[in-house]
Amino acid sequence: MAENPHLLVTGASGHLGRRVLELLLEANVPNLVAATRSPEKLDDLKARGVEIRSADFSDLASLSKAFAGIDRLLLISTDVIDGKDTRLKQHQNAVTAAEAAGVKHVVYTSLAHADSSPVLFAPDHAGTEVALANSTLPGWTVLRNNVYLEFQISSIAMAYQLGGLFKAAGDGKTAYVSREDCARAAAAALSSDFSGKRILEITGAEAVTQAELAAIASSVTGQTLNYVPVELEAVIQGMVGAGLPRPVAETYASFDTAIKVGNLAEVTNAVEELTGKKPNGIREFLEANKAALLPVAQ
């Protein structure tokens, strides 16, 4: 790998992309480039020495221009979920542009077991993994991120409001991982000198059932929370009743199906192997975010 390679992070105005860049800056990694549709949102990073480039995933020419001169690229999956393969096409554009620009390694943020997941948008990720595998890129790393711990804060708070953790997840387990750990893993993979091809399942240090998650929340808040197993349709109807369009509700609920069939249960050491540090524990994470749980719990 070239000495002091040029590293680019896409989606740099989002939570994950911004955090990856902050971690790289803290580590004094040089030659950092941020690509975004909203360059005006990254003035603070620009002031810290990050080169800001405009990029639109639906515009292949803009991606090719943004990726010029880049050695290693972090492709953060876009947030377009419309049931029309738009996101997959955007990712395919990015792979094509990376090939044309001579990028040597692409790191991609995927979904846990994307090739076998019942999560409704999993085909976007699986298709992107196929695009990488079929590309002429010299190397790539797929980071299959499990479910974010951050999402459990609002989920648990809502469960207290509803009087129970109503899920169609059966006794399935989830290896929840924090966004911070995903960011640390991505920063490490991007700035490493690994040049081959690999798929890594990015998970927390433990997998828990919904009943176990409820028990941990009860212990942390001092307020009892029970897991109430329900049918999938009841979960969907609950979200529709709260104002979500049915297709969106079905997409969210498909995570319950993934949990139920064991698709999110695998625990790996990938975070520690990439970063040298164990991932956040579930109890520790909820303790650190106790204030966000308590207003509703009380």
pLDDT bracket for residue 120 (50, 70, 90)? very high
Q: How much is the average pLDDT of 223-233?
A: 97
Q: Which two tokens stand for residue 297?
A: 């719990």
3-state DSSP helix/strand/coil percent for the chain, to nearest 5? Answer: 50, 15, 35
Greater confidence (85 vs 128) lies with 128
Instruction: Provide the percentage of residues in the chain whose pLDDT is more than 70.
Output: 97
Q: CB within 8 A of 247, min separation 6: which ones?
A: 83
Q: What is the mean pLDDT of the chain?
A: 94
Domains defined for the chain, CATH in brackets: 7-145 (3.40.50.720), 147-176+203-265+279-298 (3.90.25.10)
5-53 tens-digit pLDDT:
999 999 998 999 999 999 999 999 999 999 998 898 999 999 999 999 9
Q: CB within 8 A of 137, min separation 6: which ones?
A: 95, 98, 99, 103, 104, 105, 106
pLDDT bracket for residue 298 (50, 70, 90)? very low
181-213 tens-digit pLDDT:
999 999 999 999 999 999 999 999 999 999 999
Per-residue pLDDT at 78: 87
**Is a pLDDT exceeding 90 seen at residue 295?**
no
